[in-house]
Structure 1
Amino acid sequence: METRTQDADELQPDENAPARAVLDRTRQAWGRAAQAVSVLVDGEEHVPADGGVIVAFNHVAPLDRLRFTLAGRRVRFLTSSPVDAVRRVWGRSEARTDDAEAALIRRAAELLARGDMVGIFLEGRRSPDGRLYRGQPLLARIVAETGAPVLPVASVDEGGVLGRTVGPRLAVGPAVDLGRFLPADDEFARQCITDAVTSALLELSGQVYMDVDSSQRRAQLSEQRRSSREAVRAQVRARKAEELARTQQRIADRQAETAELARIQAQAALAAHEHARRAAEADAVQRRVRATRLPADGSQGHRAPKDPLLHDQL
């Protein structure tokens, strides 16, 4: 009896099975999402264990500002305000003023003196087409102010949502040797620092270098898109005008056909009226002719028909 009862219980449906299946699918989805946004890092052995370090990034993916760490150390990105951070994520930051840049340099000096890792996007704004653009002078000014080492970290775009990397792969290179340019007291030395870091990022990322500001290229692409949109709109307007001209021509053709048909009908009606008039005149003429050839009864010209029987008797 106990065996039969156990078998009967095993045959009963599990009421919690659908809930467990949904929970399993949810866990799998969360696992795939975490894997999609996870940041893969190559070359973490180049990250120093302590001390202030400037981490120079290229700016390829729109989600480069994911909070991540390098070799267990958190990277703190420089922003003048939380609003600026949000704007820079979406590539809408305004041009910095001298006071704002001086404030960023002071903030970077404080973080580096505290032994933090300070992250800076060398290009300033996200690359509009995946190329590496001219570096901004902020990094070189921070180096000239603090003398901190610069660690190049390239975000390698391997495809993703909308052609952008969701979970970027970071390639960390050795610190850039900038000692020969220090102290960077003039603009030429600071430009050399920017060029050296740019070369290191190019070697890590394999990008194509464009010696223009990313904002200029973005403006060019925006102008090209605007021109393209205008061209498309002009084509649409031309196509609509052509369709309207064809429609008006069809209407004109139909009106001409209707007018021609009305003319033909009018001519037919006129011909029918003329035919009826002539027929009436002909009928009247025939009546007059018959009236003149056939005399009335009792006249001298009228003769009775002969009776053939009487004629034979006579």
Structure 2
Amino acid sequence: MKVAIGGPLKLGFRPWVEGLENVPAEGPAILASNHLSFSDSFFLPAVLDRKVTFIAKAEYFTSPGVKGKLTAAFFKGVGQLPVDRSGARGAGEAAIKSGIEVLERGELFGIYPEGTRSPDGRLYRGKPGGLARVALATGAPVIPVAMIDTEKIQPPGKVMPKLMRPGIRIGKPLDFGRYQGMEQDRFVLRALTDEVMYEIMKLSGQEYVDVYATAAKRQLSEAAKAAKAGEKQQQ
């Protein structure tokens, strides 16, 4: 499945890549990436020789009908694991557990520290719970990754993707062995996450916003509702 999907992606979009030598040929590692588009989880694995496992919503694997089965087969084929996100805390714990299991098998685990896609192309504050806890629990190196221009390929509301060249920059592995055994210290979790986000910012060239992307999305939604209500009042 990886070959069937990765081949056409590379042929059609011709993504450029920098820093492939920073991904180890074997052994566990965490790929921590910014998140601009739904397609990020496909372009990154497409350019690597090794399998990368990401976390995906359980709904992608449980939808009924033929379309649902095809969607489930697709996500399994590109190496994504289902996580039930019905409860925020439960979802977080399930994602951490899954990430640890992937790394203990000596594989690559992909994670988006922002927790959700950027609403406007800027880089938002990383959530410390997932990335930091998985890194400290396993001792696996963290490799910062920057996806470039993937949000321009299929903007929200567009059905057909635009054929253009996205980019991927892969940074040098970060070793957090100095924090080993300190995964319960929230200041350590914050420091580790901020260090990774700083490296992603340098690689991507994005403007950094020191708030969570989920909060920014909520503010944008509320602003849009307020603007719509204002238009109705004027009418």
| Shorter-chain TM band | 0.7 to 0.9
Task: Tell me which of 104, 117, 132 is aligned to 2:123.
Answer: 132
Q: What corresponds to 1:187 in structure 2?
A: 186
Q: Give the C-alpha shift of residue 71 in structure 1.
A: 3.6
Contact 2:58 2:85 in 1 (8 A): no
Is 2:174 the partner of 1:176? Answer: yes
Quick one: which amino acid aligns to residue 130 of structure 1? G
In 1, distance between residues paired with 2:188 and 2:203?
23
1:221 equivalent in alignment to 2:212: no
Give, as a single letter, the amino acid of the residue that structure 1 aligns with 2:92. E
Distance 2:108 2:9 in 1: 27
| Larger Rg, first or second structure (1 or 2) | 1
> Contact 1:61 / 1:168 at 8 angstroms: preserved in 2?
no
- In structure 2, distance between residues paired with 1:190 and 1:178: 11
Q: 1:124 is paired with a residue of what secondary structure?
A: coil
Partner of 1:203: 202
1:123 aligns with 2:132: no
Structure 1 residue runs of 5 or longer lacking an equivalent are: 1-30, 87-92, 238-314
| Secondary structure of 1:60 counterpart | coil
Cα distance change of structure 1 residues 42 and 82 upon mapping to structure 2, 3 Å threshold? farther
- The Cα shift of 1:157 comes to 1.9
More helix by percentage: 1
In the other structure, the counterpart of 2:155 is 162
**Alignment deviations for residues 48-105 of structure 1 (CA, whole Å, 9 cap, x no partner):** 110011110111123212262454112110236353898xxxxxx9575333322222
Kindly tell me the number of residue pairs found equivalent between the two proteins: 200
Q: TM-score, normalised by structure 2?
A: 0.74
Does the aligned pair in 2 maintain the 1:181–1:192 contact within 8 Å?
A: no
Matching residue of 1:78: 55
Q: C-alpha distance in 2, partners of 1:206/1:119? A: 21
**8 Å Cα contact 1:176-1:196 kept in structure 2:** no
Q: TM-score, normalised by structure 1?
A: 0.57
SS in 2 for 1:218: helix
Matched AA of 1:204: L
Residue type of the alignment partner of 2:141? P
Identical amino acids, percent of aligned pairs: 35
Q: Which runs of 5+ in 2 are unaligned?
A: 1-6, 63-70, 72-83
2: distance between equivalents of 1:105 and 1:32? 32
